Structure 1
Amino acid sequence: MKKRLLALVLICTMAFSLSACGKKEDKAETKTEKTEKASDAAPIEYDVDEYVTLGDYKGLEISLENTYEYSDEGFEEYLNTKIADAGVYVEDSDKKEVEEDSIVNVDYVGSQDGVAFDGGSAEDQMIDVANNCSTSGSGYIDGFTSGLAGHSVGEEVAYEVTFPEQYGNADLAGKTVTFTFQINYVAKAIATKADLTDKIVSDNFSYDSVDKYVSAMKDDYESSLKSDLANDTQTAVLNALINNSTVSGVPEELLQARVDMYLKVYDKQYEAYGTTAKEYFESMGQDYDQYVESLKTSVEESTKTELILEAVARAEGIAIDEDGYKEFISSVMGSTGSQEDDTAFYDIYSVDGYTGERYFRQAYLTQKALDFCKDNANVTLGVKSAD
């Protein structure tokens, strides 16, 4: 079975960038003027029934492997994963010597010719010796942690490290310096509920007791089960729709408008940093034209999915209810951090022949069509797939 997730237009993948745009519209420009600008080109028209042959879309038989029901075992696994993913380390009082794979807490000072240099000192740093990085994942220059193993807690250790020739700071590039470490303690990871104390929780998890933290995580777990069920059901229904339907192609003008929309929003994002998407890609050594072709392929696939849902909406007479749409677009604008009015917001997404308002109204309509198919599906839980 083909696995395709719903890319309800560009909302999830594009809207994140709007909060970075940072430029206000010219308030002297009226809403009418903006609308006329977005409507200079003739609107793109097509008949969805010429492109889509629908298969079964009502009464779909959907089987999901998981039960999505609360269990103590499931919650314990969820809780321990949350704890482990937090990356919390505390002193291991049983360990007094640094080993090759130790996590150690240190203070360090970097000096050149006996003088400490800017940016070369830090305190209370948690270091992963084996991976030459901090426990947060930030890497160090080669050799930074290589001299720690074999030394003891409380010991001061000093050794030379050479910065790479291409290091960003010209004063240090290629230079050999001395790092002096004070080994504070060997640490251990907090990985399960059994490792928690009230102090560890209050210091690292924003709750003042283990009980309150566990209670909050239980609420999160139950919410995640409901969310997983809804998302997995939607994905399974969508996959069934795709497999049951035939799409002969995508109207070329519509496809180009969708690609142009992506590129316009990307340029708007990079504009805030004084560049364009093309300039940024080229500065990173990437082929911008190749990227655009790859984007077009991806957008074509997601647009095929939207056409199927548009065909369902037409077949079932599903229409846009204005109150529901207002709630939808307000939610979208809120999620992007947009400070614009709706007309200015639409303008960000408007391209020749396809306005931002049309784009978002279509997004709302296709979601309603998917909700219809999901509401009319027969869903069975806890069924293992054949593969």
Structure 2
Amino acid sequence: MRRKNLMAALLCTFAMTAASIAPMAVMAEETETVTEAAETSAEEETQSEEAQTEDTQEDADGEAQTDTEADGETEALPERPDYQALDYVTLGEYKGLTVADQPIEVTEDQIDEVVRQNIQLSDAMETVTEGAVEDGDTANIDYEGKLNGEAFDGGTAKGYDLVIGSDSFIDGFEDGLIGVAVGETIDLPLTFPENYGNADLAGKEVVFTVTVNEIKRMPELTDELASTISDGEYTDVAGYRDSVRTDLEAQAQEQRDTMLKSDLLTQVAGNSKINEYPQEMVDYGVANMDSYYRSMAEQYSMDFEEFLSSFMGLTEEDFSEQLVMAAQQNLQQELYLKAIAETEGIEVTDEDLAAAAQDFGFETAEEFIAAYGEDVVRISVLQDKTLDFLLDNAVIEEAQADTEGEEGETEAAEAQTEAPADEPEEADSEVQTEAVTEAATEEQTAAE
């Protein structure tokens, strides 16, 4: 999983625009959606090109052999250049750095939540045809929200599955359904919070008319149910819950390592200096990003100039300038880690490649390389191996608990999740637009 997170980041380097060295897991999350969009766009383009019959393979570093059309001509993306990072980087201290470690703790509530999710995914919930909604039930509902007697956009849905107690809707919505019987319709007079994301609804009094269609209730976890939801791997409740705990601890350990490595990379960046960027790699990154955004324009059936203006507010000249800065930013992490690897003699072995292939579900390294390209795989594994080296040579101190900060984060998270369906499709579009804009326009800043 550790290598998989790093690979996901490298496979779409043009999407990484963080000013500082970002955590591997965070970068993976940021790039997965963009990678999928790029792959989808490339597939659609390939299907529509009647003159071309050759299969093309896309790897996220762009060194893929994906073709793009410019001025009616097909232009293949360049291969990934090779270079010596120490020709461009002056390294500072990178061994013996101190990082604060948060203890790993898995609670019974966390285990209960995973069990609940697995029961839901296994379609093992009990359907209640008579009775009323209780806390923890999943109520299938139809609802319509009205402001001043008029239905407002995004406030209506049918057949919506709502987990009572999930706090996914505004205050009072879920509590108001407790005690409502199957088939019953109720009016819920509610008030949107003052800080609600939609200014037209923030602080406004509304009425939701809700009908409970069906109730699904969480069954008691028995040995039989534990066997069912684990596909027979565990035949008793205790063994199954222990397995959930083990998985959660492994995930927590991975997150802990990711955060520690992120901290170490930030320190390395602060101690070191990039004197200049390898021009061939900058050109390579620019070509990849340009190709990606042109494919996005085609996906939206837009002229490229129109796409840049509508989604980014940029001219082609401004866009080209921003690509150079983005390409340089995307190189920062690789330059630091590659320079350390060159200094310490860290190299990628056949065993490293085989292990990475296993992490990705490939039987052999050859299959792994065939899928992503050897250069991409090797630079990915090299960076991951160098991160392990930094962690192995770090001084790890136990961090002090910050209960006030945790409470603040919890309140912020609760405020953010307070929302009934308010035009989800439109909201997703806005988020995608912002991501595209940030990816191409955010200026380069010094790594903190």
TM tier, shorter chain? 0.5 to 0.7
Decide whether aligned partners of structure 1 residues 274 and 323 sit closer, same or farther in structure 2, where only a CA change above 3 A counts.
Answer: farther
Q: Which residue of 2 aligns with 1:82?
A: 114
The CA distance in 2 between the partners of 1:294 and 1:328, in whole Å, is 34
The alpha carbon displacement at 1:245 in A equals 1.1
The gaps in structure 2 that reach 5 residues or longer are 1-18, 57-64, 66-74, 144-155, 188-208, 406-448
Residues 1:276 and 1:311: Cα distance change in structure 2 (over 3 Å)? farther
- Name the counterpart of 1:309: 337
Greater relative contact order structure (CA < 8 Å, 6+ sep): 1
Shift of 1:151: 9.8
Q: CA RMSD in A?
A: 5.9
CA distance in 2, matches of 1:345, 1:320: 16
Rounded to whole Å, the distance in 2 between the matches of 1:28 and 1:103 is 46
Structure 1 residues 194-229: Cα deviation after superposition (integer angstroms, max 9, x where no partner): x85449967996678754542331121232233234
When residues 200 and 181 of structure 1 are mapped into structure 2, their CA distance, relative to the original with a 3 A threshold, is: farther
Q: Which amino acid aligns with 2:346?
A: I
Taking structure 2 as the reference length, what is the TM-score of the superposition? 0.48
Q: Equivalents in 1 of 2:297, 2:358: separation in Å?
A: 25
What SS does structure 2 have at the residue aligned with 1:318? coil
Counterpart of 2:88 in structure 1 is 51
1:338-353 equivalent positions in 2, closer than 5 A = 342=370, 345-346=372-373
Q: State the match for 1:236 in structure 2.
A: 263
For 2:399, which of 359, 383, 386 is the aligned residue? 383
Map 1:156-305 onto structure 2 (within 5 A): 157=185, 183-184=212-213, 196-198=220-222, 210-211=237-238, 213-265=240-292, 278=304, 285-287=311-313, 296-305=324-333
Give yes or no for contact 2:21–2:332 (8 Å, CA) kept in 1: no
CA-CA distance at 1:261 after TM superposition = 2.0
> Would the alpha carbon gap of residues 328 and 187 (structure 1) be closer, same or farther in structure 2, given more than 3 Å must change?
closer
Asked if 1:63 corresponds to 2:63, the answer is no
Aligned-partner residue type, residue 91 of structure 2? L
Q: Distance in 2 between matches of 1:48 and 1:264?
A: 26
Q: Cα distance 1:367–1:129, how it changes in 2: closer, same or farther (>3 A)?
A: closer
Contact 1:196 1:210 in 2 (8 A): no
Change (3 A) 1:270 1:97: same
Deviation track 1:264-294 (CA, whole Å, cap 9, x = no partner) reads 35656887x6858959956974446577766
Q: Compared with structure 1, are the counterparts of its residues 77 and 46 closer, same or farther at alpha carbon in structure 2 (3 Å cutoff)?
A: same
Shift of 1:55: 0.9
Secondary structure in structure 1 of the residue aligned to 2:259: helix
Residue 305 of structure 1: CA displacement?
Answer: 2.0
- Report the counterpart of residue 126 of structure 1 in structure 2: 161
1:249–1:304 CA contact under 8 A, matched in 2: no
Change in 2 beyond 3 A, CA 1:305/1:150? closer
Separation in structure 1 between the aligned mates of residue 167 and residue 310 of structure 2, nearest angstrom: 25
CA contact (8 A) 1:105 1:185 kept: yes
> Among the aligned pairs, what percent are the same residue?
17
Distance 2:246 2:282 in 1: 43
Aligned residues: 311
Q: 1:262 to 1:211 in 2, by over 3 A?
A: farther
Question: How far apart, CA to CA, are the structure 2 residues paired with 1:291 and 1:90?
Answer: 55
Structure 2 counterpart of 1:369, which letter?
A: T
The whole-number CA distance in structure 2 between the counterparts of 1:44 and 1:287 is 32
One of 367, 371, 376 as aligned partner of 2:388: 371
2:358 and 2:306 map into 1 onto residues whose CA distance is: 31
The answer for the alignment partner of 2:193 in structure 1 is none
Deviates more, 1:246-255 or 1:84-93: 84-93
Q: Structure 2: how far apart are the matches of 1:48 and 1:324?
A: 21
Q: Using a 3 Å threshold, how does the CA distance of structure 1 residues 282 and 299 change in structure 2: closer, same or farther?
A: closer
Aligned mates of 1:7, 1:374 — CA distance in 2:
14
Shift of 1:152: 5.1
Between the aligned partners of 2:381 and 2:241, the Cα distance in structure 1 is: 38
TM-score, with structure 1 as normaliser? 0.54
CA contact (8 A) 2:129 2:182 kept: no
Paired residues of 2:89 and 2:336 also in contact (CA < 8 A): yes
Name the structure where helix makes up a greater proportion of residues.
2
Q: Report the secondary structure of 1:380's partner residue.
A: strand
1:6, 1:305 within 8 Å by CA — same for their partners in 2? no
Distance in 2, matches of 1:39 and 1:92, equals 57
Provide the rounded CA distance (Å) in 2 between the counterparts of 1:203 and 1:269: 46
Quick one: distance in 2 between partners of 1:252 and 1:45? Answer: 11
In the TM superposition, residue 28 of structure 1 has moved relative to its aligned partner by: 9.5
